[in-house]
Structure 1
Amino acid sequence: MPLFDVYPLYDVTPVSGKGIHVYDDQGTEYLDLYGGHAVISIGHAHPNYVKAVTTQVETLGFYSNAIQNPLQKELANKLEALSGCKDYQLFLVNSGAEANENALKLASFKTGKKRVVAFKKGFHGRTSAAVAATDNQNIVAPINAQQEVTILELNDVEGVKRELEKGDVCAVIVEFIQGIGGLDQGTAEFFEQVDALCKANNAMFVADEIQCGYARSGKFFAFQHYNVTPDIISLAKGMGNGFPIGGILIHPDIEAKYGMLGTTFGGNHLACAAGLAVLNTIESENLLANVNEMGAYFMEKAKEIPQIKEIKGRGLMLGLEFDFEVGDLRKELIYNYKIFTGGAANKKLLRILPPLNIEKAHLDQFFELLKVALKEVEIKA
């Protein structure tokens, strides 16, 4: 049976990983500066992670949410302690798309309204409401398009004000650092005014932290760089270091009711074990400090390369923008210099999303090889 052919694939077959490296079926080592879309937060096969998941699967891998699962409470308490999101409530799911779908559903329940405001170049997932709020018509099917969504320019405060004052908006959803859109960010004034406008107009302010959260930006959540209080925070990617897990943090003003939300696999025992291993490692290895130190070092090194026109992002959610499309450069890096990097909707942007425990030696290696790869691309052009 053939696979449904929806992914253009590089001709590389990783079969194992260790730390910041992956190894293909020929035994070739690759420097992983992409982490599978920022999923690998504490490195491949981290011993804490391997031990936690192995122990849990040997004990109890799964049971439904119809029973007590103390691991969920342990995960919630650890997340509250490390994130500083005091008194928020946690609902666990399996992915970022599910997190955003439930965030928007909850906003609609809470407000009794159904229209969503989102922003250009934003990406929120591929489920029904989440994909409708995503600025990419190529992945919005007709069945999704029946959702009521208004997409505005980032930083358009007046547009947000105009739409909210119409009285039918249940949620404004925003990435505080856009991921696939190209690492664009709103201004502090924009985020803070949107927060205030939501509170004044009975709309939920949803912080999509699926890619920019979990220490990736240099704070636990990217919204914490600003003076805002989201009503709902969605999280996933780096949460499980590769194990499927996502969730939403829900402000204490939003009351839970039995049956309001539900999931079969969300918050299962294995997922919680993986999630706890990530949080415990972020804490024990002081990875937030490392993110800030390595992010600053990356910025310094990038400024030495004249072909780089702009450095975008924060912490270890970074982008290098050139004055040419980077598709050939990415191929050069992966095939000839054995480095994984990422692309974006902005075809001139090279995305860098390494594990949070990356070291200076890895960045030195990347920049030295990037200089050589740039020369090769220039010659071939």
Structure 2
Amino acid sequence: MNLFNVYPLFNINPIKAQGSFLWDDRGEKYLDFYGGHAVISIGHNHPHYQTQLKNQLDKISFYSNSVQNELQTELADKLGKLSGLEDYNLFLCNSGAEANENALKLASFHNGKSKVLYFSGSFHGRTSAAVSVTDNPKIVAPVNYDKRFIKSEWNNIEQLEVVFKNQGSEISSVIIEGIQGVGGIMIPTVEFLTKIKELCEKHDTVFILDEVQSGYGRSGYFFAHQEFGIEADIITTAKGMGNGFPIGGVLIHPKFEASNGLLGTTFGGNHLACVAAIAVLDVMKDENLIENAQKMGEYIENELKDFSHIKSIRRKGLMIGIELDRDCSEVRNSLLYNHHIFTGNSNDKTVLRILPALNIQKEETDQFIDALKTVLEAI
């Protein structure tokens, strides 16, 4: 049997990782400035993370959600305290797409409406409803397409108001990323988010903040939208939540009522996933990683802002989009193959996407900065 060939792969096979570095099967060392799409939040194989997972393996790895699991309660408690959302409730699942599916479903249960408003440039996942609110026709199959999913232009308040004027009574939820990642590190304005909130309240529409990539301290706030003082009805999270162990979560405002069977999952909130997520929160708190994301992100931007071929830098914390005056693929490949540094791209072909671990240090950022300067000067 062969693998189903859907991923374009770099000819690199990492077999070991530590901190912000990877080593391949030829012994070559790489600086990880992408973290596997912002998944690596506290660095590869952090000692506390490793120890907690190994200890849990000696106890119990999995049982279904038909029994009590005190690790889920501990995770919810610590997540509530660190995020400042102690009055919210938590539903655990396995991925960002699954978190968004459950958020959209819960919203529809709540108000009995079926339409969903999403925005240009969005990416919310590849599953049924999540891909239907993703702005990429190439990955939306005919079975996923439905007129109930309405697209409006990013940061366009006027168009947003027109959509609600015409269809507000039918819109179950609005889903928006705290910061668009795949879209090219696009940051919503406070006026745009405030208007969404206002219209949602007026029309009994659920306001969903997708913080799958922009959450968990990535932006320099626990969730990106918290910078603006906006209160979401539902928040989804995943990527950095488990530092590589699959886990997702739906944070649910207390106005939503739970009932047996309303939502469900087989693997969500299993013992190993919870231990991984608890370890991430412990490290984030003990090592002040949200503050480090603010500090190191600002340092990187200040060092890069006058480089040749950079048109703009879009950044919150350590969620950084470097807009070049050309397709970024040449720069990205040179960083990888000539300087052994992993970076990312986006749907905007000119944007180099930078998502290092939240505990990145100055020495490691300087390695990236020096390499990027060399690459850009050689163009």
Same fold (TM over 0.5): yes
Would the aligned equivalents of 2:83 and 2:222 in 1 still touch at CA under 8 Å?
yes
Q: Deviations over 1:319-352 (max 9, x none)?
A: 1111100111111111110000000001001100
1:337 paired residue number: 339
How much does 1:288 deviate? 1.0
1:158 to partner: Cα distance:
2.9
Percent of pairs with identical residues:
52
Q: Report the equivalent of 1:367.
A: 369
Answering whether residue 329 of structure 2 is matched by residue 323 of structure 1, we say no
Q: In the alignment, what sits opposite 1:36?
A: 36
State the match for 1:358 in structure 2. 360
Distance 1:203 1:43 in 2: 38
After TM superposition, the runs of 4+ consecutive aligned structure 1 residues lying more than 3 A away are: none
Question: Residue 279 of structure 1 aligns to a residue in which SS?
Answer: helix
Q: Distance in 1 between matches of 2:318 and 2:200?
A: 30
SS of aligned partner of 2:58: helix
Q: Which residue matches 1:262?
A: 264
Counterparts of 1:161 and 1:247, CA distance in 2: 30
For residue 242 of structure 1, what is the aligned residue in structure 2? 244
Deviation at 1:147, TM superposition (A): 6.0
Q: Is the 8 A contact 2:308 2:376 kept in 1?
A: no
CA distance in 1, matches of 2:116, 2:101: 12
Indicate whether 1:252 and 2:249 are aligned.
no
TM-score of the two chains, using structure 2 as the length reference: 0.98
Opposite residue 369 of structure 1, the aligned amino acid is: A
Partner of 2:186: 184
Alpha-carbon distance in structure 1 between the residues aligned to 2:284 and 2:305 = 29
Q: Which residue of 2 aligns with 1:82?
A: 82
After TM superposition, the structure 1 = structure 2 runs for residues 70-149 of structure 1, keeping only pairs within 5 Å, are 70-146=70-146, 148-149=148-149
Please tell me the residue identity of whatever aligns with 2:154: L
Counterpart of 1:200 (choices 199, 202, 213) is 202
The 3-state SS of whatever aligns with 2:310 is coil
Shift of the alpha carbon at 1:196? 1.2
Amino acid at match of 2:74: E
Please give the alpha-carbon distance, in whole angstroms, between the structure 2 residues aligned to 1:157 and 1:258.
Answer: 39
How far did residue 162 of structure 1 move? 2.8
Matches of 2:216 and 2:199, distance apart in 1: 26
Question: Which residue of structure 1 aligns with residue 177 of structure 2?
Answer: 175
Q: Secondary structure at the match of 2:15?
A: strand
Structure 2 residue identity aligned to 1:331? N
Counterpart CA distance in 2 for 1:114 and 1:205 is 14
Provide, for residues 41-87 of structure 1, a one-character-per-residue CA deviation record: whole Å limited to 9, x for no partner. 00000001101111111110000000000000000000000000121
Where does residue 346 of structure 1 map in the other structure? 348
2:64 alignment partner AA: S
Is 2:178–2:223's contact at 8 Å kept on the other side of the alignment? no
* 1:296 alignment counterpart: 298
In structure 1, the partner of 2:164 is 164
Cα distance in structure 2, aligned partners of 1:177 and 1:371? 26
Counterpart in the other structure of 1:226: 228
Counterpart AA for 1:227: G
SS at 1:59 equivalent = coil
Q: What is the Cα deviation at residue 142 of structure 1?
A: 0.7
Distance 1:156 1:375 in 2: 37
**Cα distance in 2 between the residues matched to 1:240 and 1:250:** 19
1:309 aligns with 2:311: yes
CA contact (8 A) 1:244 1:271 kept: yes
CA distance in 2, matches of 1:115, 1:36: 33
Shift of 1:303: 1.4
| Unaligned stretches of 5+ residues in structure 2 | none
Say how many residue pairs are matched: 377
Q: Which string of whole-angstrom CA distances, capped at 9 and with x for unpartnered residues, describes residues 277-313 of structure 1? A: 0000000001111111101101111113122110012
Normalization by structure 1: what TM-score? 0.98
Q: Tell me how far 1:16 sits from its aligned partner.
A: 0.8
Distance in 2 (CA, whole Å) between partners of 1:158 and 1:304 is 35
